[in-house]
Structure 1
Amino acid sequence: MELTPIKVRGKRQRGGNEVAVVVPEKRRKASVKSKLQRSQRSQRSRESKASYLEKIPLEILERILWYSENVNLPRSSPLVGRLLSGHSTLRETFIVAFQPTWDAWFGSVGHRDDPTRPTEGNPEFQSGLLEYSWTNISFILECWDFYVRRLAKAQPSGTDQPFHLQHLRIWGDADNPTNVILEDDSYLVDPQEASRCFFHDYAAFKAIREHIGYHLRTFTQPNPSTFLQVHKDTQIPDSLFTSPYSDESLQKLFWLVRGGARLSPDQTWELTLQAFHDAVPETLPHAGEVNIVMVKLLFTLRAYYAWPQYVIDEEEDRIYSILSKFVPGPTAEIVDEYKYIALMVSGS
C-alpha cells in the first residue's frame, strides 16, 4: 500500500511526483472582476480629483481661452493642455488672436512706423502664440487661407465680383524686381489659395543674388511700406534671429516683416549684431557662406540703424576683410554681393 504524498509548501517536486495546481474557475472569474472593480475605482478617484477647470467641456474651455487671451491657460494642467491642443482648436485660437488686425487692414499696405496707425488686436496674445513651435509658417498660412475662405464665403451674393482683393506686389517678381505693382485688377487673390501670394512675395524678396547688379544700382533706404497683418507692438520671437537659419524660420520671419512687425524696444542691437555675424561668418568652415536673406530682413527691419557708429565701422571693415580671404580671388558676383551688404550696413 503506497503512502499518500504530502505537498510541502516551498519544496520542489521531483519527476512524476509533480503536482499540478489548478485554480478553480470561480476564483479566476472573481480575480478578473476584482481587477476591473479596482480599475473603475481608480478612474473614479482620478475624476474626483480633477479640478473644476478640467471638468469643463471643450467648447466652453475654448471660449475661456479666446476671451481671456491668456496663452498660459493650456499650461495650467496637463489635462487642460491636452484638451486645448487639438489642431482645430489651435487654428481657431490663432485666427481669434489675429482676426481683429486682419479685419481692420485686410489687403491694405501701410507704413510700419506710422505713429497714427490704429491698433487692433492684442499684441501680447499674438506674441505669445508666435513663441510656440507649432506656429510654423505652414500653420500660419493654413490659418490665413482658412480666414480668407471664411471671409469670401461671408461676402454678399448676387454681385458679379463678391470677393475682390488685389495682390499688391511690393517686392516685384522673382524674375523681375522692377515689376512692382500696387494697383492692378489683373492680379487678384484667389480666396481658395490666398497663401500663394506669400510664396510669390518671398521668392521675389530672396532673389537677391540673381539681380545683385540691379540692387546695387538702385540702392535706397528700406521700404517702410508693408502689409498690416500683425499688431504694430507684436514681438518677433528672438529664436528667429538665432542660427542655424532654416528656410522655414526665414519664411516665418519674412511673414512677420511682410506683415508690419517691428523690432521691440527690448530687442537690442546686440541681438541683431549676433544675427548678422551668424549670417555673414568670417571663420572657417562657413566663411563666405552668406545668408543674404537674413541680412536683407535685418535691413528691412532697420536693425542696422540702431547700431553704434563704431560697430558699423567695424562691420564694414570685417566685410571687406572677408573678401580678401577668398582663394582664389572672389568673383565679380561675390564682390557685388559684399558691396551690397556693406551698403545695407552703412546705409549709404
Structure 2
Amino acid sequence: MSKSKRLLDLMMTVNRKRKFTVKELADEFNVSSRTILRDLQELGELGVPLYSEVGPHGGYQVLNERILPPIAFTEEEAVAIFFASHALRHYKYLPFKEESLSALHKFYNYMSGDVRDRIDEMKHRIDFLTPARQAEFPYLALLLEAATGQKVLRIDYESRGQRQERWIQPVGIYASNGLWYCPAYCFLRGDIRVFRCDRIQSAAADGSGPAALDLGHVHLGNREAYGRVSRQTAPAMVKLYAELTAEGVQACEAEVWAPPLLHIREEGTGWLEGEIPGQDLGFFARFIIGLCNEATVQEPPELVAEVRRRLAELQAKYG
C-alpha cells in the first residue's frame, strides 16, 4: 500500500474510532508501530485533532471537533451541495447557523475559479424564499440535541397569553412558513404535542423531572401514528368533509397538517376527509374562512356552526 493511500485510509479509520492505540493501528495496517507514529504525526500536521494519553490505559483519541476525510465531488454535485446550504440563508435561526455559514465559506473557497464563477452567476437567478419572521428561536440546538439524545427538558411555554411550565421529550424540529415547530412528548398531557418554538420562553435539561421514555423509534415521519396509539385520554374526534376547488387544493397542499386528509381528483379539485379532534374546530374554522369560496364544509355540523359564528363576529365588527 502506498503511503498516500495509507494516510487517507488512516484518516478515515481514526475518524471512525473513538479511541485507539498505536499497536491496534499497526496491526490493522500491517506496518510497524514506528511507521504509525510517523503517520499520526503527519495527520496532526494536516489538521486532524489528535490527543494522546499516557499510562497503561492510554492511547490516542480524536477530539470532538473531528475533521472529515477528503471527499471527491463532481462539479454538479459541488454546485448542488452549495445551493442546498445556501437555501438556508433566509432563516435567521438555525440549530447550526454558525457551522452552516463556516462550511459554506470553506466549500466555496476551495472550489476552482470557474466553478465559483458559475455559482456567482447562479446565485442571482435561483432562490428559495421563506417568509421573514420577527419571532425568535434561541433553543433550536438544545431541542434537536434532546431529540437525538432522548432527553427530557423543562420548558416555560407561553400560549394564548398564559405561561406554564412543561416537561417535554422532543421528537424533532421542523420549519414551516418561516416558523419552527417541535413535536414532543408532553408529560402533562401524556401525548405527542406540537410546540411552536418561538413560544418557548426558556428551556433546560433538568434531571429532577420525569424519566425519559424510549422514543428512539419515534420520528417526524411517524409521530402521528405514535400519538394515536399512546394517548391515555383520547380527545373526542369528529369527521371532517369539505369540498375544495382547485385553488383550495393548492392552499391545502401548503399546510403541513393536510396530507392525511387531502384527496385530489384528476382535474385538480379535491376534498378534505378524515377525523379531527373536536377541540381543534376553532383552528379549522379560521382556515376554512381564509379559503373563502374555495372550500365548502359538509360535515361536521359543529364546524359549520363555528364558521357561521366567526363570520357573524366579523360582520358585527366591520358592519
Higher-RCO chain (CA-CA 8 Å, sequence separation at least 6): 1
Larger helix percent: 1
- Asked if these proteins are the same fold (TM beyond 0.5), I'd say no
Q: What TM-score do the two structures reach when normalised by structure 2?
A: 0.28
Larger strand percent: 2
